[in-house]
Structure 1
């Protein structure tokens, strides 16, 4: 997906808060399939990504990933009120799955060969692309090619975007890594860093949260396939989640969730990715 399309999505749209109350789940020896049979699920999401996975001040949760998680849970037979949402920061996602602290994760989780060595993925349910977020008054940075000159670039620990820039685009960029993207955004707003990098859809959410303060610049320069992470070897649940994702594409719920949480398409169209049945 190209970033110039993301910028036409009406990124200032306010995410609709959708509640999910805590019930069940946690770290135990039961499988995701066991929990489904009990009518409950614990799902990992991000808590600090506007438009994608956000814990609101009233304790509810909103975002595109949240809507995907709720739809999938519903197709598995679990009601929204029986979902426990657990924060899944980038550095902890594999551990949460391996330890059984969550049943699956829907948290801008890019499918990579390295990650598939320790967890399984359903999907992808969305394809994003890496881009840059800068302050609105910045005229020096117009894309990844302009990050040279010891610019300060921020991303999060346990993710790959900042290292990708250093390895492939700007050798002398100074990398700053924090635990969450919200901390990177605060550093950008304060002037401590020059740019934040991650997937375009994530950056669009932050830009929309503070209109006039920040902007997404340049073309997307990677392809990131978002998948739903599961414990390694849970083929039963993976197959059922893949079925649910394809149903979400087919019945229009996927596009509706995107338009509601990220913003109106304004003449553009979304093309669902092909689910990988590996």
Structure 2
């Protein structure tokens, strides 16, 4: 993943030029000896070749590749509790949440060490599609036909709907209708199905697209926005924990399913993840994780 460092040596010019040339030749020769000579039948030991070979892996007879040997590099927008978040004062390496726990359990089965990377939600699919930087996108991605044109999805691991959140004091009988005016600002996370729902169902409202759901909730709480829309499990969790003056005033039955995002160029990884997840489902691990993070079994 990291390029090989290039070292530049600057020598003085016009001073004992012949001496320095001789030294350079000698150093080059010693370098060849130190690196070891290849036998006539060996392939060149280039960094790219070595990385490609070392990234090959297998699970239960399914071959796949990873960007780095022994690692499962995971991109996520880690500001979406209880699915994924970074504890205060910590880094992405300390990420926690239901989705994080599921991926970590899958990685363990595959014999890989998970490496979490904090990125913006809307760059994950393009990056996974491009390849070479990460193995997996795990950020509450709803499986859609449009996204499936760009990347592969694993089997679904969680069902979800959308939730419309307002201040408890502002709750009305028909919140969507009350918000359908340019004077009302509705916050969403950019690139999400919540954003798509608002565009279709509250078209006259002023749509505010943000980096994450926490910003949206904080904006509603402060009065900057009139409402926000995002995945129901997350909205319920945040209203019950950190934003108790807000409430889910409308549960929107969109019937969504989450899947992990994998490159179309690595179908073996998708298959291996599906196998590992099914094993975690069968042995009760998924049930335990849902009880831990949601307080109930969801699927």
Are residues 177 and 141 of structure 1, via their aligned partners in 2, closer, same or farther at CA, if it must alter by over 3 Å?
farther
- CA distance in structure 2 between the partners assigned to 1:207 and 1:127 by the alignment: 19
Q: 1: distance between equivalents of 2:209 and 2:199?
A: 13
TM-score of the superposed pair, with normalisation by structure 1 = 0.78
Per-residue deviation at 1:241? 0.7
1:46 matched to 2:77 = yes
1:56 is aligned to: 87
TM-score (norm 2): 0.73
* Alignment partner of 2:260 out of 219, 228, 232: 228
Query: Structure 2 matches for 1:131-142, cutoff 5 A?
Result: 131-140=163-172
SS of match in other structure, 2:207: strand
Tell me whether 1:249 sits opposite 2:281 in the alignment: yes
Matches within 5 A, 1:1-278: 30=52, 33-35=64-66, 38-57=69-88, 58-59=90-91, 60-78=94-112, 82-97=113-128, 98-140=130-172, 143-150=175-182, 151-167=184-200, 169-262=201-294, 264-265=295-296, 269-271=297-299
Shift of 1:26: 7.0
| CA pair 176-211 structure 1, distance change in 2 beyond 3 A | closer
Q: Any conservation in 2 of the 1:110–1:224 contact (CA below 8 Å)? A: yes
Q: Over the residues paired in the alignment, what is the CA RMSD in angstroms?
A: 2.4
Q: Provide the rounded CA distance (Å) in 1 between the counterparts of 2:298 and 2:150.
A: 31
| Pair member with larger Rg | 2
**More deviation, 68-77/153-162:** 153-162
Q: Secondary structure of the residue that 1:56 maps to in structure 2? A: coil
Q: Aligned in 2, Cα 1:250/1:224: closer, same or farther, shift over 3 Å? A: same
Higher normalized contact order (CA 8 Å, seq sep 6+, divided by chain length): 1
User: Judging changes above 3 Å, is the alpha-carbon distance between structure 1 residues 270 and 48 closer, same or farther for their aligned structure 2 residues?
Assistant: closer
Alpha-carbon distance between aligned partners in 1 of 2:254 and 2:80, rounded to the nearest angstrom: 20
> CA, structure 1 residues 141+44, in 2 after alignment: closer, same or farther (shift >3 Å)?
farther
Q: Retained in 1: the 8 A contact 2:165–2:250? A: no
Deviations 1:116-161 (CA, angstroms, capped at 9, x unpaired): 1111110110110011122232223655454324432110222232
Helix, strand or coil: the match of 2:145? Answer: coil
Contact 1:130 1:198 in 2 (8 A): yes
Higher helix share: 2
